[in-house]
Amino acid sequence: MLRKLLMRKPKMAVLFVCSGNICRSPTAQAVLEKRLAELGADKVVAVDSAGLESFHVGEAPDKRSQKHAAERGYDLSRQRARRFERADFERFDLVLAMDEGHLASLRKRCPPELQDRVALLLGDAEVPDPFYGPPAGFERVLDLVEPACARLAADLAARARAR
């Protein structure tokens, strides 16, 4: 699936989606951006994030997300929440949901011909929402997102080099 998507445009684009775009998806965005930069692929892969709801549009990521991410070397401070738009299906080669609820919502909204762009970041598992839980939840998000984004970055970088 990824190979087919990446052959469409000279610059690839990945979008992470969660509920409000203040915890999980901005964390995944920062992690993937850093991994791509480390591999020298940050100029050929654009990364963004969005929320399915408009609760936090224009706000910076949750302070707890920023704190835990910063402790691992990721800067979320310049990001601002935005709401997912239907046009994002056209703009992005991959639209990666954080949980099954997000995936179902995205699939309902997605045109049939673009369904292959939508998937769960973790494949068959979810990134749990840390918003209402203890600080350990933010660490858990990073524990799940880091290896997934490392694999994704390596795949994207290899495909970019092969072009």
Residues noted as catalytic: 18, 24, 129
Residue pair 140/128 in contact by the 8 Å Cβ criterion: yes
Helix (H) or strand (E) holding 15: strand 12-18
Q: Residue 17 phi/psi, 5° resolution?
A: -130, 130
Task: Extract the tokens encoding 64.
Answer: 């707890």
C-alpha 137/C-alpha 134 separation (Å) is: 6
